[in-house]
Amino acid sequence: MKRIAKGKVCLVGAGPGDPQLITVKGLKCIAEADVIVYDRLVNDRLLEAAHPQVEKIYVGKSSSGHMMSQVEINDLLVSKAKEGKVVVRLKGGDPFVFGRGGEEAEALAAQGIPFEIVPGVTSATAVPAYAGIPVTHRGLASSMAIVTGHEDSTKGESSIAWEKLATCSDTLVFLMGMEHLPQIVEQLLANGRPPTTPVALIRDGTGPRQQTIVATLANIAAQAAENNFTPPAVVVVGDVVSLRDKLCWFDNRPIFGKRVLVTRSRHQASKLSELLAQQGAEPIEMPTIAIEAMPDYQELDTALAGLSHYAWVIFTSVNGVDAFLGRLQKQALDARALRGIKICAIGPATAKALAQHGLVADYVPKEYISESIIEGFADKDIPSKRILLPRAEEARPELVEGLKRLGALVDEISVYRTVQPSEALSRGKQMLIGGEIDITTFTSSSTVRNLISLLARDWQSVNNTTVACIGPITAAAAIDSGLTVDVVAREHTIPGLVQAIVERYEQVGKA
């Protein structure tokens, strides 16, 4: 008799917003899930950790409406688990800190559904920390209380003992309290909290759009209204708020809050996005190129069969390394086939890609452009020597022409091509046209040409942003396309591009 698989539910805390603040166990649960039931404040990037076949069900709630009632969510968790599936209930913050995780666990227990709780980093402590506010401090606060600002409306009168709460803890943290901020302030003042008590409102905490207002209990409600401060926000009351001036770290980074368009291919975008996020930016990925295999590798296969005839192999990109060595393996060959052949790599990223296959570049030019390679080869005794150049189908001709002028015999072979991606690009495109992008990055001439093509008649919207290029060749392509280039990296690498952007905004800040 076939055993029926028994499902289970994992109540997982997704953390306060920054996707890197999820726990290791939480991320593991997402990767193993058959079904993910997730809330409004869960960062979409966490869903990328799931396997492609996972069923994703959005049950987000906001003050203006609910996708599902809590009873419906409970029933959904039970029914999916009864189908024998592993269900992850992904909740913002911690599921047991005003996340209604206790109610969901009760519903599961009543139906005999196995479940486990994976605690998350709660916004009650993480959001103030990202605003430079410690909720406790040896000299200022030895106690804290976490309070809901959004009580169950069916309870009638408030169950919060305001006469005790107002002064019982040095620090008070209210979650979901923005809609009732005037009432919260009124109750605290009426029950003994001094009007001079510092208060912080932190909106979109731990994310690139985080915003903080600091005032006193006497005027914080007026400040919130004046600044149109809306949820989601955390309210912190207490003397620890005064430490923000000294401890502010997250929102004073050079490009904090800047929206940066990343036009690299999707499989290469993550490194640039990660470095931008580290500097405070919000990366918006809009891949304008995709890397595609060549339809025919006969020419490359012939070159691989005669590798011993070459004195040098020059790699101009990571993509070239991957395509070349991937084809080498298909021929049942490995790095030993390059024995006695010298290798050149343009840039540290290309050299690193070679090193991951056990190959050390003999020559890496100081500048990562064709002209620098040609200059470096002038004294390398290459007349009449054969050079293999595996690279992109649409690569510039300057390198081949320069090497030939030096007397080399160059076999240029296309090992991959860059094309416009087929997937929809609506979000990035709409944000760019709508003036919501601050910086547009280009990492190759192809990214420039393809973005201009994708934007069609709206291409001029790029000039409303800061245009940043990885090097002079890419910058030249941008200028030829009618763009105004604001930033050109001195080091033609992804870290170099980010550094150039940071320096640009640091200079603007000092001006």
Tell me the catalytic residues. 39, 61, 176
Taking the C-alpha atoms of residue 370 and residue 404, their distance in angstroms, rounded to an integer, is: 13
CA distances from 210 to 6, 18, 127, 201, 419 (A): 42, 11, 9, 10, 36
Which residues pair with residue 175 across a beta bridge? Answer: 148, 234
Find where tokens 């009449």 sit.
384
Closest CA to 469 of 440, 433, 503, 508: 440
CB-side neighbour CA atoms (13 Å) of 375: 9
**Encoded amino acid at 410, one letter:** V
Contacts of 279 by beta carbon, 8 Å cutoff, 6+ apart: 253, 254, 255, 256, 498, 501, 502
Taking the C-alpha atoms of residue 24 and residue 9, their distance in angstroms, rounded to an integer, is: 17
Q: Write a three-state SS string for 56-111.
A: EEECCEECCEECCCHHHHHHHHHHHHHCCCEEEEEECECCCCCCCHHHHHHHHHHC
Per the structure block, which two tokens stand in for 1? 């008799």
Query: DSSP string of 96-152?
Result: TSSSSHHHHHHHHHHTT--EEEE----HHHHHHHHTT--S-BTTTBS-EEEEESS--
Taking the C-alpha atoms of residue 474 and residue 215, their distance in angstroms, rounded to an integer, is: 47
Helix (H, G, I), strand (E, B) or coil at 334: coil
